[in-house]
């Protein structure tokens, strides 16, 4: 079985964060979100992965993942000229798949559940596809599956105006090479995209068997700022505490705390977990947490931060109170004593 990660798109809903890098490389708990997909595919026993790239600064995907050897996998890159839908992106991988069964993982999805048992079941089955479903509160925003009383799939539809169920088709698909025949004859949807839900519906209409499983553990499609902050919170809550720094650190703490290498604390540091602090960070006179990620090489002084993501190489020397904020790479903030919610793109200097 092979794996595919969709890593394209412009990430317009996450601007200004996505002006300088693909949305799937934005960190959640100090790890690029698409790496969670890669690790899930690897855990399922798959070590040959195609990453579909395109859109803003896609070269940064190649720079981060390389040939995959640092992650224990072999990576092939497939270029998509413009966002034309999930089905179109999958169709570009026919040569890579080479008639094997395969697993597709949308790079902006975060899932806490392991996939290995699903992969084993699908590999042994004669099903042409397996989809994963999850109950959602806003079904109009997703592809939706309608289910017969006997438990089989009745219909799959993309973002219906009147959803018959709240069972969202999440961005993880187990497929066979039969899907490529459908994709080649697929027509664009009202969104002018080639929809994977339309391709799956055609398989159903031709009496092909599609199985499914319903996810009950945490899943998030990280399409908005609020989604990313929520995913950061949940992943931090599910991370085992650790401290890689060898010297003793003097600080007050509550809850799960994760501390990287070569971290230095000055006076009056209070951590209210869950909190993760990356390598080579300096912190003094700060209250951090709960639900905060601090990236590598960051320096914090006199600030209070909660429910936020601070990326790498950030300097905050301020009595500012940050809440529900995302501060991107290479930023510097100085200000008076104020409470703020900030979404700050890369390489900025902010004086308040």
Instruction: Please say if the pLDDT value at position 27 is more than 70.
Output: yes
CATH number at residue 308: 2.160.10.10
The pLDDT tens digits of the residues spanning 98-128 come to 999 999 999 888 888 889 999 999 999 999 9
- Closest among 261, 305, 298 to 283, alpha carbons compared: 298
Give the integer Cα–Cα distance in Å for 95 and 104: 15
Tell whether 217 and 171 lie within a shared domain.
yes
Answer positive or negative: Cα dihedral of 63, 244, 26, 96.
positive
CATH number at residue 132: 3.90.550.10
Number of domain units in the chain: 2
Tell whether 166 and 302 lie within a shared domain.
no
Tell whether 23 and 36 lie within a shared domain.
yes
Instruction: Please say if the pLDDT value at position 342 is more than 80.
Output: no
Tell whether 198 and 267 lie within a shared domain.
no
* Residue finishing a domain among 191, 208, 235: 235
Tell whether 181 and 306 lie within a shared domain.
no
Tell whether 179 and 276 lie within a shared domain.
no
Tell whether 220 and 316 lie within a shared domain.
no
Sequence-distant (≥ 6) Cβ neighbours of residue 218 within 8 angstroms? 110, 111, 112, 113, 234, 238
* Domain extent at residue 333: 239-351
Tell whether 101 and 231 lie within a shared domain.
yes
Mean pLDDT score of the chain, rounded to an integer? 88
Which residues lie across from 168 on neighbouring strands?
A: 134, 144
The mean-pLDDT minimum among 47-51, 135-139, 268-272 falls in: 135-139
The pLDDT tens digits of the residues spanning 147-187 come to 987 778 989 988 888 999 999 999 899 999 999 999 999 99
The pLDDT tens digits of the residues spanning 42-82 come to 999 999 999 999 877 888 899 999 999 999 999 999 988 87
* Residue finishing a domain among 214, 235, 256: 235
Q: What are residue 35's phi and psi, to 5 degrees?
A: -65, -30
Tell whether 65 and 12 lie within a shared domain.
yes
Instruction: Decide which of 83 and 184 is more confident.
Output: 184
Tell whether 323 and 227 lie within a shared domain.
no
Give the integer Cα–Cα distance in Å for 89 and 91: 5
pLDDT interval class at 338 (50, 70, 90): low
194, 88 contact by CB (below 8 A): yes
Q: Percent helix, strand, coil in the chain (nearest 5)?
A: 20, 35, 45
Give the integer Cα–Cα distance in Å for 41 and 45: 7
Tell whether 212 and 100 lie within a shared domain.
yes
pLDDT interval class at 189 (50, 70, 90): confident
Q: What is the pLDDT of residue 184?
A: 92
Tell whether 185 and 308 lie within a shared domain.
no
Alpha-helical regions (H) of the chain: 33-43, 59-65, 86-91, 94-97, 116-124, 178-184, 196-205, 225-237
* Residue finishing a domain among 235, 262, 291: 235
Instruction: Please say if the pLDDT value at position 16 is more than 70.
Output: no
DSSP assignment letter at 238: T
Give the integer Cα–Cα distance in Å for 123 and 113: 18
């Amino acid at each position: 079985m092979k794996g595919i990660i969709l890593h394209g798109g412009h990430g317009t809903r996450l601007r200004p964060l996505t002006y300088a890098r693909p949305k799937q490389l934005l960190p959640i708990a100090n790890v690029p979100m698409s790496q969670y997909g890669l690790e899930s595919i690897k855990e399922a026993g798959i070590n040959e992965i195609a990453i579909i790239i395109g859109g803003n600064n896609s070269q940064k995907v190649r720079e981060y993942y390389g040939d995959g050897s640092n992650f224990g996998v072999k990576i092939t890159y497939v270029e998509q000229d413009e966002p034309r839908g999930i089905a179109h992106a999958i169709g570009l991988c026919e040569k890579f798949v080479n008639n094997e069964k395969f697993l597709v993982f949308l790079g902006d999805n975060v899932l806490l559940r392991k996939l290995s048992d699903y992969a084993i079941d699908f590999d042994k089955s004669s099903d042409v596809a397996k989809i994963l479903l999850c109950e959602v509160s806003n079904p109009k925003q997703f592809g939706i599956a309608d289910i017969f009383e006997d438990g089989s799939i009745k219909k799959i539809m993309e973002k219906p105006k009147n959803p018959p169920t709240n069972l969202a088709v999440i961005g993880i698909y187990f497929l066979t090479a039969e899907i490529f025949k459908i994709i080649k004859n697929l027509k664009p949807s009202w969104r002018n995209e080639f929809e994977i839900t339309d391709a799956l519906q055609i398989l159903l209409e031709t009496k092909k068997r599609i199985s499914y499983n319903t996810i009950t553990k945490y899943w998030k499609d990280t399409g908005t700022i609020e989604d990313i902050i929520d995913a950061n919170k949940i992943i931090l809550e599910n991370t085992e505490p650790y401290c890689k720094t060898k010297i003793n650190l003097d600080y007050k703490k509550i809850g799960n705390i994760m501390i990287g290498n070569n971290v230095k604390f000055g006076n009056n540091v209070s951590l209210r977990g869950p909190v993760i602090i990356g390598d080579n960070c300096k912190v003094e006179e700060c209250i951090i947490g709960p639900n905060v990620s601090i990236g590598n090489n960051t320096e914090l002084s006199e600030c209070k931060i909660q429910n936020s993501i601070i990326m790498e190489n950030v300097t905050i020397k301020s009595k500012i109170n940050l809440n529900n904020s995302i501060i991107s790479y290479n930023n510097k903030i100085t200000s008076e004593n104020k409470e703020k919610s900030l979404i700050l793109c890369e390489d900025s200097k902010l004086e308040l």
